[in-house]
Each structure stands twice: as structure tokens, then as C-alpha cells.
């Protein structure tokens, strides 16, 4: 899959722990970019294509010990491959900007830092499923773990859906603390691709910071 070419769109991913506000900020960013005249596709992982959405159901619901780290990583990369082939790459080839709620950094953070899976195993799966393709920009929404879990819990209660997709939220505090450090470590190791955004601020301030970062790093043509 070619990752260059003047007509190719841009691929922006949003990362962060539970309750960081990624879904809200993704929507606000999409609206702003559309106002700039861009064609924008919003999507998510795991999911974003029919096959990947089917795999998502296996990952985000059920008992916390349902899968070990290796199985989870395999499932995530199977979903990711289908998502790329069916949704992301075709949209980029059409010149659309694709905004994705989570991508491969989440696998490294959740299965690597969170569950202790060898990062080289994840890197090997990335090479097979994704190849040399990578996001143009990754926005890491960061906030204290306790605040994020409180937000996530309130969101689940407000939804009234019985927490059908709360499998990761129910994992221990130590797991979520490792996640936060994992995301910050990924951002520090990839400063040209990643930008850390203070997600503890008000939604409006977070949006302003995100939009300023996107416009500085990826000027709209």
C-alpha cells in the first residue's frame, strides 16, 4: 500500500487511557476540518469495518481474563488489517483525511505495557498486518488515571447499557497506571509523530489545543 503521493489524504489517530475524551474530541476535530473544506472520515479501533466490528465484540466485552496478551494482540491486528484494507487505505487514496479513535499504539500500550507482552512480538505483528504504513499524526490525550476511570464510569452509568463494552475499564488500577506510562513513553519515543494533549482541561480547551497542533503539524492544503 503506497503511503505517499500528492493526492493522498492524512491519517490522524487519537490515543489515551479510558475516559480521556477521545470520541468527543474526534468529533469536534472532524467538524473543524470539514469547515476547512476537507473530506473527513471518522472511524475507530477495534472496529471501523464490518469484519473488525465483529472482532471488537470479542475484545471489549466479557470477563477481564477472557484472553491472554498474545490472543488479544492477534485479535487486534486481525481487526486492524481488515480496517485498513476496507476503510482506511481506500479513504486515503481518495484524498480524504481519516481520523481514528485508537490505532496500533493502543495495542503496544494495552497488551505490551498493560499485559506485559514482549514489544517485539507486537512489532512483528505490526510488520505483517500493517507494513511500513503509520499515522501522519498521533494525538495522545493524557490525564490522571483516577480522573479517567471516574469519567469512564460516569459515561457507562449514563448510557444505561449495563457496561457491555467495559471489559478494559474493569481491569485493575495498576493496569491503567501502566497504560498511562506506556502512552507517554510511546509519545516521548516518537516526537515527530506524536503530540501529548492535556485532557484534564475543559473540552473546549482540549479541542483548541488539538486543532492548533493539527494545523501546525499538518497544514491544510
Q: Minimal CA–CA distance to 35: which of 198, 215, 195, 201?
A: 215
What's the count of helices (H) and strands (E) in the chain, helices before strands?
A: 9, 5
User: Domain limits of the chain?
Assistant: 11-217
The pLDDT value given to residue 164: 61
∠ Cα 166 167 171 (to 5°): 110
Determine if residue 5 is labeled as part of a ligand binding site: no
- Mean pLDDT in consecutive groups of 10 residues from the start of the chain, 221 residues: 58 93 96 96 97 92 82 95 98 97 96 92 97 98 89 58 62 86 97 97 97 93 70
Top-tier CATH class for 11-217? alpha beta
The pLDDT value given to residue 158: 43
Distance CA 207, CA 213 (A): 10
The pLDDT value given to residue 82: 98
Residues 6+ away with beta carbon under 8 Å from 41: 87, 91, 96, 97, 98, 99
Q: Which residue has the cell 515527530?
A: 192
Contact 14, 26 (CB under 8 A): yes
3-state DSSP call for residue 38?
Answer: coil
Q: How far is CA 29 from CA 18, 26, 47, 105, 203, in A?
A: 19, 5, 20, 20, 12
Determine if residue 20 is labeled as part of a ligand binding site: yes
Determine if residue 57 is labeled as part of a ligand binding site: no
- Ramachandran assignment for 8, one of left (phi > 0), alpha (psi -120 to 50 degrees), beta (any other): beta
Using CB atoms within 10 Å of the CB of residue 130, give its burial: 0 to 12 exposed, 13 to 18 middle, 19+ buried: middle
Alpha helices, H only, the chain: 22-35, 50-60, 69-83, 89-93, 104-107, 119-129, 145-159, 173-189, 203-217
Reading across the β-sheet that carries 11-16, which strands appear in turn? 40-44, 97-101, 11-16, 137-142, 194-198
Determine if residue 22 is labeled as part of a ligand binding site: yes
φ and ψ at residue 154, rounded to 5 degrees: -65, -40
The pLDDT value given to residue 69: 84
Distance CA 15, CA 206 (A): 14
Amino acid at each position: 500500500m503506497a503511503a505517499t503521493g500528492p493526492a493522498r489524504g492524512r491519517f490522524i489517530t487519537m490515543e489515551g487511557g479510558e475516559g480521556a475524551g477521545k470520541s468527543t474530541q474526534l468529533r469536534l476535530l472532524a467538524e473543524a476540518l470539514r469547515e476547512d473544506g476537507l473530506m473527513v472520515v471518522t472511524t475507530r479501533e477495534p472496529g471501523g469495518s464490518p469484519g473488525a466490528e465483529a472482532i471488537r465484540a470479542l475484545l471489549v466485552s466479557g470477563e477481564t481474563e477472557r484472553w491472554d496478551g498474545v490472543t488479544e494482540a492477534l485479535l487486534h491486528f486481525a481487526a486492524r488489517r481488515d480496517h485498513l484494507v476496507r476503510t482506511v487505505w481506500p479513504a486515503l487514496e481518495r484524498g480524504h483525511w481519516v481520523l481514528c479513535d485508537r490505532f496500533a499504539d493502543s495495542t503496544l500500550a494495552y497488551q505490551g505495557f498493560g499485559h506485559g507482552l514482549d514489544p517485539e512480538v507486537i512489532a512483528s505483528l505490526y510488520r505483517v498486518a500493517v507494513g511500513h504504513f503509520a499515522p501522519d499524526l498521533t494525538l495522545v490525550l493524557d490525564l490522571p488515571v483516577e480522573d479517567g476511570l471516574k469519567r469512564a464510569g460516569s459515561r457507562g452509568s449514563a448510557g444505561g447499557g449495563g457496561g457491555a463494552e467495559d471489559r478494559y475499564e474493569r481491569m485493575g488500577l495498576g493496569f491503567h497506571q501502566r497504560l498511562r506510562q506506556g502512552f507517554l513513553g510511546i509519545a516521548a519515543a516518537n516526537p515527530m509523530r506524536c503530540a501529548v494533549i492535556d485532557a484534564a482541561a475543559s473540552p473546549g480547551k482540549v479541542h483548541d489545543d488539538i486543532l492548533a497542533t493539527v494545523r501546525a503539524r499538518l497544514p491544510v492544503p
